[in-house]
Structure 1
Amino acid sequence: MGKLYGLIGCPVEHSMSPAIHNDAFREKNLDNYYHAFHVETEKLEESVQALKLLGVRGFNVTIPHKISIIPFLDKLHETAKIAGAVNTVVNENGRLVGHNTDGNGYIESLKEMLNKPISDHKILIIGAGGAARGIYFALTHQGCQEIDICNRTISKAEELINECPFSNNSKALNIQEAEIDIEKYDIIIQTTAVGLHPHVDQKPLSLKNAKKSAIVSDIIYNPIYTALLKEAKELGLTVHTGVGMFVYQAALAFELWTKQAPSIEKMTKIVNDQLGGTSC
């Protein structure tokens, strides 16, 4: 019988993870199977224990469980300790070890679009949840100093900044303040679930005052072009879709589970094909 892997989150119906991981298992001739499990918040602890008892060899963690899962794991890898959030779990001989591949996966995908070091950019992060934490800590770990965080609840942005273990000059903003000051930023990173399928007409803020040279990045990949990215394209801004981060973090997780590197190109093609290509 093959080994079982999976994803836990709420919702998970939109996820392309089963498609790309199961294809990669076939590509590598591995007798493994990946399944998405819908897990409500109040069922998280018992669901994690059930996966452990079933001998699931590894699983990904998505919204809204990336932080709340931590007490139910046996150990945290350094990447998860730094991020304060978990997106990948490895079953090591019955012990569940939490990792975070979000931050590094995101940076690797973003670097492909930059013509100067990432630390030379002034950055705005929208959101202060688990995904924002992983990206923010990874960016500051790489030397980025000028990173501000905006969130509907400003205290959560302040808390995230205060918990960052690396040097920074970050400020916490509310959404209205971020919209007013948005022309200051070279890179704008959207990390919330706003705009995720099926609520595809929603966006967290307006880009009308953004500088023309800005890169607007949205980690949502379904749809590939969110309402925020569509606005960015209409304004002539450079857009960075969530497909890159999704694929790179998935590839890093796959390698943690199998010790084999999947094809980034193949994973990217599957996501783009299933979600309707690469254009608006």
Structure 2
Amino acid sequence: MKKLFGVIGDPIAHSMSPIMQNDLFQNYSMDAHYFPFHVKKEELVDAIKGLKSLGVSGFNITVPHKVAIIPLLDQIDPLASAIGAVNTVVNIDGKLTGFNTDGNGYVRGLTEQITNLQDKSVLMIGAGGAARALYFSLAKAGVKRLDICNRTKVKAYTLIEECPYHVDSTAYEMKEAEERLGEYDVIIQTTSIGMSPHTEDIPLSLEHLKAGTFVSDIIYNPLETALLREAKQKGAIIQNGLDMFVFQGALAFEIWTGIFPDTDRMKNIVEMQLGGKKC
């Protein structure tokens, strides 16, 4: 009997997950299919009931449901509970368990590019939902220093205070962080600034960026944001959001199937859909 998987969100038509996950099911000769489900906020409770009734084996959750889904689950993984958001659910014997693979997916993608993460000083731009997952996971991974800059410093301080994993950390406003860019080995952009269609927007000045800094942007559409383009011109090593997207999907696939899949294959599939390789 064919197993059913999917992703729920609003909007959902743009999602690359169905193409990526269905290719994996085919590659591993699994009788399974992954569907996109367009679910509005007011429809979430009924949608989850429907997915359980259909016997869906697992599904991903994207905006705007990552927080709202938590009370609808039977169990939640400790990291997802700490983050306060879920992006992956597995259905075992009618019991729904939630996980968050965003942060760990990002860290897996980062460690593909960087060795000795524990020796690195990191600046994170933004303090929203995506930043929270990344911050908690990077803190758990044991980075040496993990600072946050945000338009409102209070929000950054709140994120730091709520993290259950100890890491040396300071909050800055954007202008303060701009002056300190030369202090960091890694800079991570976690906001939606620079995302299509506003592709020329940039979250902060890179005037003080030092050559050789690793600059990462979690956006993957476009594959090269204005921030990454300017960073590369200044001699930085750059990474777009494709690695995070691929590895969070790979970790979800592993939760559902027990198999950690071919991430190079996944990355190639998404790159082809997005129109070519950048970075």
Does TM, scored on the shorter chain, surpass 0.5?
A: yes
Whole-Å separation in 2 of the counterparts to 1:36 and 1:53: 17
Structure 2 vs 1, CA of residues 197 and 52 (structure 1 numbering), >3 Å: closer, same or farther? farther
Match of 1:231 in 2: 230
Please list, as runs of the form range in 1=range in 2, the aligned pairs for 1:158-197 lying within 5 A after superposition.
158-197=157-196
Q: Which residue of 2 aligns with 1:272?
A: 271
User: 1:42: Cα distance to partner?
Assistant: 4.3
C-alpha change, 1:242 and 1:94, in structure 2 (3 Å) is same
Change (3 A) 1:40 1:210: farther
Q: Supply the distance in 1 between the matched residues of 2:54 and 2:219 (Cα, whole angstroms).
A: 30
Which residue is 1:105 aligned to? 105
In structure 2, give the amino acid aligned to 1:143: G
1:123 aligns to what SS in structure 2?
strand
- Deviation per residue, 1:58-79 (Å, 9 max, x gap): 1112233333332222210133
| Deviation digits for residues 67-126 of structure 1 (CA, Å, limit 9, x no counterpart) | 3332222210133134332121111222211111122221121112224x1121111112
Match of 1:88 in 2: 88
The verdict on how the C-alpha distance between 1:68 and 1:227 changes in structure 2, with shifts beyond 3 A counting, is: farther
- Paired residue type of 2:95: R
- Asked if the contact 2:181–2:208 (Cα under 8 Å) also holds between the matched residues in 1, the reply is yes
Query: Which 4+ stretches in 1 moved above 6 angstroms?
Result: none
Q: Is residue 78 from structure 1 mapped to residue 46 from structure 2 by the alignment?
A: no
Matches within 5 A, 1:191-270: 191-270=190-269
RMSD: 2.0
Is 1:151 matched with 2:150?
yes
Structure 1 residue 270 displacement after superposition:
0.6
Q: Does 1:68 align with 2:83?
A: no
- Residue type of the alignment partner of 2:149: C
Distance 2:159 2:85 in 1: 12
TM-aligned CA distance change 1:158 to 1:183, over 3 Å: same
Equivalent residue, structure 2, for 1:51: 51
Show the counterpart of 1:135. Answer: 134
Instruction: Give aligned pairs, total.
Output: 279
Mapped to 2, the partners of 1:64 and 1:220 lie a distance apart of: 17
One-letter amino acid matched to 1:138: S
Deviations 1:124-168 (A, max 9, x none): 112222321221111111222411112233332221111111112
Percent identity, aligned pairs only? Answer: 52
* Alpha carbons 2:118, 2:141 under 8 Å: kept: yes
Within 2, Cα distance between the matches of 1:192 and 1:21? Answer: 25
- Answer yes or no: is the 8 Å Cα contact 2:149–2:173 preserved in 1: yes
TM-score by length of 1: 0.91
Secondary structure in 2 matching 1:65: coil
In the aligned structure 2, how far is the partner of 1:138 from the partner of 1:76? 16
TM score, norm. by length of structure 2: 0.91
Unmatched runs of 5 consecutive residues or more in structure 1 = none
Does structure 2 retain, via aligned residues, the 8 Å contact 1:14–1:197?
A: no
In the superposition, relative to structure 1, how do residues 201 and 50 fare at CA in structure 2: closer, same or farther (>3 Å)? farther
Of 48-57 and 233-242, more deviation after overlay is shown by 48-57
Change (3 A) 1:228 1:52: farther
Deviates more, 1:128-137 or 1:117-126: 128-137
Q: Is the 8 A contact 1:67 1:130 kept in 2?
A: no
* Residue pair 2:210, 2:235 contacting (<8 A) in 1 also: no
